[in-house]
Amino acid sequence: MSGFPWAAFAIGLGAAAGASLVVMLATFALALVKGVHRIVDSAWGLAFAAVAATSCALAATEGHGDAGRRALVTVLTVAWGLRLSVHIAWRGRGHGEDPRYERLLAKAGPGRTRRALYALRMVYLLQAALVWLVSLPVQAACYAPQAIGPLAVLGTLAWVAGLTFEAVGDRQLHVFKADPANRGRIMDRGLWAWTRHPNYFGDFLVWWGLWLLACTTLPVAAATLVSPLVMTYLLTAGSGKALLERHMADRPGYAAYRARTSGFIPRPPRSSPR
Residues 143 and 154 in one domain: no
pLDDT of amino acid 273: 46
Q: Amino acid identity, residue 119? A: A
CA distance 131 to 29: 18
pLDDT of amino acid 1: 52
Half-sphere exposure of 47 (CA within 13 A, CB side): 30
CA distance 10 to 89: 33
Decide if pLDDT at 267 tops 70.
yes
CA distance 125 to 47: 12
Residues 169 and 143 in one domain: no
Picking from 96, 128, 147, the residue at the C-terminal end of a domain is 147
Residues in contact with 72: Cβ distance below 8 Å, sequence separation at least 6, in sequence order = 148, 152, 156, 213
pLDDT of amino acid 272: 55
Q: Which residue did the predictor score with more confidence, 248 or 31? A: 31
Host domain of residue 50: 1-147
Q: pLDDT tens, 89-138? A: 998 887 888 888 888 888 888 888 999 999 999 999 999 999 999 999 99
Residues 75 and 154 in one domain: no
Residues 43 and 67 in one domain: yes
HEC secondary structure over 198-238: HHHHHHHHHHHHHHHHHCCCHHHHHHHCHHHHHHHHHHHCC
Residues 166 and 237 in one domain: yes
Per-residue DSSP letters for 159-204?
HHHHHHHHHHHHHHHHHHHHSGGGTT----SGGGGT-S-HHHHHHH
Picking from 130, 147, 164, the residue at the C-terminal end of a domain is 147
* Angle, in degrees to the nearest 10, between helices 40-62 and 125-134: 50
Residues 140 and 166 in one domain: no
Residues 71 and 165 in one domain: no
What's the whole-model pTM score? 0.94
CA distance 238 to 24: 20
Residues 94 and 156 in one domain: no
Residues 77 and 200 in one domain: no
pLDDT of amino acid 101: 86
**Rounded mean pLDDT, 54-74:** 98
**Rounded mean pLDDT, 42-60:** 98
What is the tally of structural domains in the chain?
A: 2
pLDDT of amino acid 244: 82
Residues 85 and 169 in one domain: no
pLDDT of amino acid 258: 92
pLDDT of amino acid 32: 95
Residues 128 and 163 in one domain: no
Buried b (16+ CB within 10 A) or exposed e, 140-177: bbbbbebebeebbeebbebbeebbebbbebbebbeebe
Residues 38 and 143 in one domain: yes
Decide if pLDDT at 211 tops 50.
yes
Mean pLDDT for the chain?
A: 93
CA distance 26 to 167: 27
Picking from 94, 113, 147, the residue at the C-terminal end of a domain is 147
